[in-house]
Structure 1
């Protein structure tokens, strides 16, 4: 039963480290938010400690424009 709570703590620490890495890269400071920025923040947080091993995930996306 303890393995579930230990796994949860490990995942939480992983995500906190990823959020710290995103903050150090200044991703939370930018006032302009779009699809690519939100995606980059998300994958940086999920990458966690891998950010400190040279992983620098970036997301590119375009949203369809409404028809006229």
Structure 2
């Protein structure tokens, strides 16, 4: 169980480093697409260095007037 926890932790740290290297944590627009892209990049982990470049597009419905 400890080994699995360590592997998952390292996987997520590598994903966070990949997101940081792509500049996702900088001063960028804060919206659904940006947050989803950062989350998927972190979860993809080391796959980012194998050519995976996840991008998510989403639209949040606007409130009615």
TM more than 0.5: yes
Deviation at 1:31, TM superposition (A): 3.5
2:62 corresponding residue in structure 1? 65
Q: Where do 5+ consecutive residues of structure 1 fail to align? A: none
TM-score under structure 2 length normalisation: 0.97
What is the alpha-carbon distance in structure 2 between the residues aligned to residue 67 and residue 26 of structure 1? 34
What's the CA shift string for 1:24-67, capped at 9, x where partnerless?
Answer: 00000034210000000000000000000000000000000000
TM-score under structure 1 length normalisation: 0.93
* Residue correspondence of structure 1 range 6-17 to structure 2 within 5 A: 6-17=3-14
Instruction: Give 1 or 2 for the bigger CA radius of gyration.
Output: 1
How many residue pairs are counted as aligned between the two chains?
A: 65
Q: Where do 5+ consecutive residues of structure 2 fail to align? A: none
